[in-house]
Amino acid sequence: MKINQISPLENTFTQIVGNIALVPKKLYYNGTLPSKRPPTIAIVGSRKPTTYGTEVTTRITEDLARRGVIIVSGMAIGIDSLAHKATLNVNGTTIAVQGNGLASLYPSSNRQLGQNIVDNGGAIISEYEPDAPPMKHRFLERNRLVSALSDAVLVTEAAARSGSLNTVSHALEQGKEVFVVPGNITSPLSTGCNALLKQGAHPATSAEDILEIIAPHLLKPQTQLALGDNPLQTKIITLLTSGIRDGDELQRLSKENAMAFSTELTMMEINGLIRNLGANQWTLK
């Protein structure tokens, strides 16, 4: 991929970086930088998300991206990658910020993801010379750019010592809004999130919670609940909306035999109505 170089002040989207401490003299990037400054949200979190973290990250990210919000993250394993992929799922624009030079994307397992980001009109950004190797301190330095490029930061799942909290500290220094998805109080991967909520972060249970504060003009009236192609599909949608995720429980409450239920579930997944979360857990798409 071609590596381009600019001053942050040369581009409408990156000019916002000029307002922070330690402004980078140069930015290197692959892909296409936005020519305008639409609402932009950074989404960060655990590198080993739970099923819950995976579900809420995907759902909120897709809802934001569908409304034209640009999603920024660090392309790390875990929540970062989920946020980028969820944006691409709905043909949205996403920006990845690397803690190393762009001659070789990091981690190597996400090189295809990086290519997909660029191919879909997004960009990969770094402040480091192209051959600069990934180093721990550079990822911490990178976090200030993740928050700086954004209007707000959303943490979807984070442990007490999560690196995401470093991004939050930069966001607060930069005067950015911080949103947090509440988590299970018994889950270690929600400890960091729940602590941030105690400290005054905005709780976020949906994209609407974020847009009400960041970009109320993007809010649309709620549409009627989607109906299935037949009564059984409609029943499954209703059950999923009520919060039930387990396939066995869905089948029991639908009062349909296992074979017919499994067939409808497969058809709904093919038609893009629902998503398989793994371990026989399901959610609306």
For 246, which DSSP code? B
Same domain, 201 and 243: no
Please count the structural domains in the chain: 2
Read off the CATH number of the domain in which 101 is found. 3.40.50.450
Q: Say if residues 41 and 152 touch (Cβ distance below 8 Å).
A: yes
CB atoms within 10 A of CB 25: 7
Rounded to the nearest integer, the mean pLDDT of the chain is 92
Stretch among 57-66, 111-120, 175-184, 238-247 having the lowest mean pLDDT? 238-247
Residue 243 has pLDDT above 90, yes or no: no
Q: Say if residues 156 and 43 touch (Cβ distance below 8 Å).
A: yes
Euclidean distance between CA atoms 20 and 143, whole angstroms: 12
Same domain, 236 and 160: no
Stretch among 24-38, 79-93, 211-225 having the lowest mean pLDDT? 211-225
Which band of pLDDT confidence, cut at 50, 70 and 90, is reported for residue 225? low
Same domain, 194 and 242: no
Query: How close are the terminal C-alpha atoms of the chain, in Å?
Result: 32
Residue range 193-212, pLDDT digits in tens:
999 999 999 999 999 999 99
Nearest to 98 by CA among 132, 66, 53, 71: 132
Q: Is 162 left (phi over 0), alpha (psi -120 to 50) or beta?
A: beta
Same domain, 194 and 263: no
Boundary of a domain, candidates 192, 218, 244: 218
Same domain, 239 and 139: no
Residue 223 has pLDDT above 60, yes or no: no
Residue range 136-190, pLDDT digits in tens:
999 999 999 999 999 999 999 999 888 899 999 999 999 999 999 999 999 999 9
What is the β-pairing status of strands 27-31 and 152-155? unpaired
Read off the CATH number of the domain in which 245 is found. 1.10.10.10
Q: Given this model, what pLDDT does residue 145 score?
A: 97
Q: Is the dihedral of CA 77, 78, 79, 84 positive or negative?
A: positive
In a domain, 225, yes or no: no
Euclidean distance between CA atoms 16 and 78, whole angstroms: 27
Same domain, 213 and 239: no
Same domain, 125 and 262: no
Boundary of a domain, candidates 187, 218, 249: 218
Q: Given this model, what pLDDT does residue 226 score?
A: 59
Q: Given this model, what pLDDT does residue 229 score?
A: 79
Q: Given this model, what pLDDT does residue 285 score?
A: 75
Same domain, 155 and 238: no
What share of the chain in percent tops pLDDT 70? Answer: 97
Domain that residue 248 falls in: 231-284
Q: Say if residues 242 and 253 touch (Cβ distance below 8 Å).
A: no
What is the β-pairing status of strands 281-284 and 274-278? antiparallel
Euclidean distance between CA atoms 245 and 51, whole angstroms: 11
Euclidean distance between CA atoms 212 and 233, whole angstroms: 32
Which band of pLDDT confidence, cut at 50, 70 and 90, is reported for residue 273? confident
Stretch among 53-62, 120-129, 258-267 having the lowest mean pLDDT? 258-267
Average pLDDT for 9-30: 92
In a domain, 223, yes or no: no
